């Protein structure tokens, strides 16, 4: 029987459709990342409008984040089992519909439930976007450019979420932060139906590992919840310890089940025998622990140290985003044809580390140029240099049949790293100003470690 998903069956997008395909996939990824942060500025309005308690309002963020992190690995494998286009469209439909339901919420429980379903749709959609790119573009310049755009827009989503959330809440209402996904989602859905290659052959090669899916979903969700509790109540709190212990135990059982009793595992452990995948995901874990939490500490330091308003804070983030996108989409793809990927990753990490060291010098007397803009240039250039080659590394050499699993692993690694990094850095932040200093110094040290790990990546240059 013909088996879908093999290497020879990986679709190669024709040149005339390549740009539109990349735009559609990147737009979907942008929506996913945007919704992680777009509600942050709107939380006070949601609390007063729907009657949330002070502790309950945090679940508007946590419901999305926990379900998203917990289901990413499963979401990645779904594309291998049921077909990339089918899974992409399903995830996009669920995400968009949940956004509509959330925007119409009339009670706290209603909104939290919608955000959880949003997270589920995002967990299916995000790995599918990367899988479609890596299986539609052969390794080389075209894939590099597509990955550069995917990475840059993903990074831009975090900043855009804070800025867009503030604008929409002030101009319209908090509901607009969710309803904005409706026209974008419908447009992407309509275009995607026409530009994404159909799934080939009968999707009967493998069955979804349900036991593994339940174990890893519950385990990762418990770990993510434990990290969140550590940030709020410390690492020794009962909720933190019990959640982390349960999560680690479930993941350990998952690994045992996958290696001993499952014929077609949810996460093929053979992927970890590919050096670029194994080493790259370690670097991705540590980079995620640095680059994602930086937005949290930058936003607080701008407001607490420099006295910026939320709108000023959102605007102040623009240099980080614009520089990262410019370097990541225009400079890095060209450099990847000339320089080893591991050299770019290490160089970018060192530049970003220098930027974070500079950021640690922020004080009440700092100007925007010396306190924010200058460090932003170094961090933006560094992030733009390292993210695309790192994404390419963790997906290089992976069989097309396991592309979804590799994408899910990468996204999971990044999200777990972000949760771990934020919890660890918040714990290290004992007081306002000096605490931010310590956080940025620790991030700088971790970026130096990323540079060291990058050296262990296999030598590879994206040649024309």
133: tokens are 């790119």
Task: Tell me if 425 sits within 8 A of 293, measured CB to CB.
Answer: yes
CATH code of 272-464, in short, is 1.20.1250.20
Q: What is the mean pLDDT of residues 241-262?
A: 88
What pLDDT is attached to residue 4?
38
304: tokens are 């607490």
User: For residue 427, which of 192, 157, 227, 159 has the smallest C-alpha distance?
Assistant: 227
What pLDDT is attached to residue 430?
52
Q: 182-191, 266-275, 285-294 — which one is most confidently predicted on average?
A: 182-191
Where are the domains positioned within the chain?
Answer: 14-201, 209-265, 272-464
CA–CA distance, 359 with 379 (Å, rounded to integer): 9
**Per-residue pLDDT at 56 exceeds 70:** yes
144: confidence class by pLDDT, cuts 50, 70, 90: confident
CATH code of 14-201, in short, is 1.20.1250.20
Q: What is the mean pLDDT of residues 193-222?
A: 75
Q: Which residue has the higher pLDDT, 103 or 233?
A: 103
Residue-level length of the chain: 464
Q: What is the mean pLDDT of residues 238-262?
A: 88
CA–CA distance, 335 with 352 (Å, rounded to integer): 18
56: tokens are 């309950």
pLDDT tens profile 353-398: 999 999 999 988 899 999 999 999 999 999 989 988 998 888 887 8
Q: Which residue has the higher pLDDT, 70 or 6?
A: 70
Give the number of other Cβ atoms within 10 Å of residue 431's Cβ: 9
CA–CA distance, 332 with 270 (Å, rounded to integer): 30
Task: Tell me if 134 sits within 8 A of 85, measured CB to CB.
Answer: no
pTM beyond 0.85: no
How far is the CA of 367 from the CAs of 254, 305, 357, 372, in angstroms?
A: 51, 11, 17, 8
Close Cβ partners of 268 (under 8 Å, ≥ 6 residues apart) = 402, 405
What pLDDT is attached to residue 345?
94
Q: What is the residue-wise DSSP string for 62-131? A: HHHHHHHHHHHHHHHHHHHHH-HHHHHHHHHHHHHHHHHHHHT--SHHHHHHHHHHHHHHHHHHHHHHHH
Return the H-helix or E-strand segment holding 358.
helix 341-359
Fold match between 14-201 and 272-464?
yes
Instruction: At 10, give phi and psi (nearest 5°).
Output: -60, 120
Task: Tell me if 117 sits within 8 A of 101, measured CB to CB.
Answer: yes
Q: What is the mean pLDDT of residues 296-306?
A: 80
């Amino acid at each position: 029987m013909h088996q879908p998903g093999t290497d020879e069956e990986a679709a190669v997008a024709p040149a005339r459709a390549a740009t539109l395909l990349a735009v559609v996939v990147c737009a979907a990824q942008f929506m996913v990342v945007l919704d992680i942060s777009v509600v942050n500025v709107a939380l006070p309005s949601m609390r007063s409008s729907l009657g949330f308690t002070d502790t309950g309002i945090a679940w508007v963020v946590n419901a999305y984040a926990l379900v998203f992190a917990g289901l990413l690995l499963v979401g990645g494998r779904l594309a291998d089992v049921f077909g990339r286009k089918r899974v992409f469209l399903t995830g996009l439909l669920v995400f968009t519909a949940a956004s509509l339901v959330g925007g119409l919420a009339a009670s706290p429980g209603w909104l939290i439930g919608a955000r959880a379903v949003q997270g589920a749709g995002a967990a299916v959609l995000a790995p599918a976007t990367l899988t479609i790119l890596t299986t539609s573009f052969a390794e080389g310049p075209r894939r590099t450019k597509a990955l550069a755009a995917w990475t840059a827009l993903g990074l831009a989503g975090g900043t855009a979420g804070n800025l867009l959330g503030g604008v929409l809440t002030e101009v319209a209402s908090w509901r607009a932060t969710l309803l904005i996904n409706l026209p974008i989602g419908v447009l992407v859905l309509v275009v995607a139906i026409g530009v994404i290659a159909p799934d080939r052959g009968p999707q009967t090669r493998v069955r979804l590992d349900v036991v593994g899916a339940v174990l890893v979903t519950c385990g990762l969700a418990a770990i993510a919840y434990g990290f969140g509790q550590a940030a709020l109540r410390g690492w020794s709190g009962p909720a933190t310890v019990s959640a982390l212990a349960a999560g680690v135990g479930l993941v350990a059982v998952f690994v045992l089940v996958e290696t001993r009793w499952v014929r077609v595992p949810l996460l093929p452990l053979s992927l970890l025998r590919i050096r670029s995948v194994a080493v790259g995901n370690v670097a991705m874990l540590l980079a995620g622990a640095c680059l994602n939490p930086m937005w949290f500490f930058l936003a607080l330091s701008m407001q607490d140290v420099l006295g910026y308003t939320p709108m000023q804070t959102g605007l102040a983030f623009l240099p980080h985003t614009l520089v990262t996108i410019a370097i990541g989409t225009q400079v890095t793809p060209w450099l990847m044809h000339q320089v080893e990927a591991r050299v770019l990753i290490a160089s970018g990490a060192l530049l970003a580390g220098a930027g974070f060291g500079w950021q640690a010098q922020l004080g009440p007397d700092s100007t925007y140029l010396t306190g924010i803009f200058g460090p932003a240039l170094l961090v933006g250039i560094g992030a733009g240099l390292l993210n695309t080659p790192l994404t390419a590394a963790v997906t290089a050499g992976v069989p097309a049949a396991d592309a979804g699993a590799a994408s899910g692993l990468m996204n999971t690694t990044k999200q777990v790293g972000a949760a771990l990094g934020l919890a660890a850095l918040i714990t290290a932040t004992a007081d306002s100003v000096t605490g931010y200093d310590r956080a940025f110094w620790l991030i700088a040290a971790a970026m130096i470690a990323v540079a060291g790990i990058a050296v262990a990546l296999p030598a590879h240059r994206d040649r024309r």
